[in-house]
Amino acid sequence: MSRVIVIGAGLSGLVAANRLAGKGVDVTLLTKGIGGLQLGQGSIDVLGYAPDRVTNPVLTLSAIASARPAHPYAAIGAEAVHTGIEYLKALLGDLLVGDAEANYQLPTAVGAIRPTCLVQPSMVAGNVTDGARFAIVGLRRLKDFHPKLVAENLSRTPLPDGGRLDARPVMVDVPARDGEVDSSGLTYARAFDDPAFRDRFAAALKPQLNEGETVGLPAVLGLKDRGAWKDLSEKLGHPVFEIPLPPPSVPGMRLNEALTALAKAAGVRVVNGTRAVSARVEDGVVKGVTMATAGAPREFTGEAFVLATGGFESGALAMDSYGSVTETLFGLPLQGLDDGPLVHGDYWSAEQPLFSVGVRVGKDMRVLDAAGAAVHPNLFAAGGIIGGSSRWAEKSGDGIALGSAVRAADSIVEELA
């Protein structure tokens, strides 16, 4: 029995649970499996496009908040995003760097340049600048990273500030494990945790590098050893930076593992394994959430509940064959359903309205109905379940998750006090 039940273990669930526990609240975190954090790039996107490329995310989101009242940032507000950013940076110590007022512009694994707000120190040297010289290094046995593609795309792309950089591909072959010709990024990350492997790798790569080059590598430079990238940089005598890969995302795993360990250390009771399948509501107040535990269902009761279950990708929202969309745990009222068809056939033009479907929240992150009244007085939402924006197009998902999680946690702390 805990005072607060957080449902979901993505960025918003983990941040809400940590923040509540850090303020002395007894928290249970319910999750089906591992959350989506380790599927991302291990950086924090606050606002990347609006619709043009964004350089100052917090400034731009304030403008969005005033212009679009249905956007999650309108309820969350710039201040909560600021608080969330500072909170996460403090929580994770040396794992995230950056500033709410400035986006980094970092190379991707296809050689595009993505705007993002907080990054891991191992990525910073990749921030594109006019006249930079990059050696993009591929590993022969890692099939998810193609240095030629990255280098050629980067070289022919005008940089956001108008400049140009020069990038060339380099290929090295250092096996992560004997007898394995097709290793995953994670297998390489585990190898890079070992200083002896870093020695071998540096010895193979160093002769191929030219004076003054910055070295771009797939983001596999150590999982547990946070200093692995720095050590490699010293061994090479060149600045290095990591470029995130498709899952398994090693930088994403670093964030997920750190936040999960912090939550447990702060006393959060983590119950993993089965879905939360139903909720018990009495006189409008949420009393408990039930998980489909093996043998017999288990109910988790609490005084306040944080719905951090995500969207369609996690099954928190579902659309049936008639096109009707439901929130699958509480059956909450949703916004974004009344503006015509949810999916239009032109997949390469305007955004699909479906992606903006989700719950409405007030400034305290309580879930609201269409009339603006709280659906349940003790139900709060955070992260992807909140409707009103196309996160993937805006690159705003992490900022929404952070801002709503700290706001929800702080509202709950205030009310329980």
Among 149, 271, 319, 413, binds another protein (CB under 8 A): 271
Helix axes 397-416, 72-92, angle to 10 degrees: 90
Read off the tokens for 310. Answer: 């995500």
CB of 368 to another protein, least distance (A): 27
Among 51, 52, 173, 294, binds another protein (CB under 8 A): 294
CB of 112 to another protein, least distance (A): 22
CB of 318 to another protein, least distance (A): 13
> What distance, in Å, lies between the first and last C-alpha atoms of the chain?
18
CB of 178 to another protein, least distance (A): 8
Which of 318, 370 has the CB closer to another protein? 318
CB of 202 to another protein, least distance (A): 24
- The site map against another protein for 246-265 (x = CB under 8 A) is -xx----x-------x--x-
Q: Which 186-225 residues touch another protein, going by CB under 8 A? A: 186, 190
CB of 186 to another protein, least distance (A): 6
Using CB under 8 A, count the residues that bind another protein. Answer: 38
Which of 28, 43 has the CB closer to another protein? 28
Which of 206, 298 has the CB closer to another protein? 298
Which has the closest alpha carbon to 57: 97, 102, 98?
102
Which of 190, 391 has the CB closer to another protein? 190
Q: Which 364-403 residues touch another protein, going by CB under 8 A? A: none
CB atoms within 10 A of CB 204: 12
Which of 175, 195 has the CB closer to another protein? 175
Q: Which 303-322 residues touch another protein, going by CB under 8 A? A: 313-315
Our finding on whether 269 is near another protein (CB under 8 A) is yes
- Side chain identity, residue 6: V
Q: Which 5-64 residues touch another protein, going by CB under 8 A? A: 31-36, 38-39
- The site map against another protein for 141-180 (x = CB under 8 A) is ------------------------------------xxxx
Distance separating alpha carbons of residues 406 and 295, to the nearest angstrom:
35
Which of 2, 105 has the CB closer to another protein? 2
CB of 324 to another protein, least distance (A): 21
Interface residues with another protein (CB under 8 A) are 1, 31-36, 38-39, 177-180, 184, 186, 190, 247-248, 253, 261, 264, 269-275, 291-296, 298, 313-315
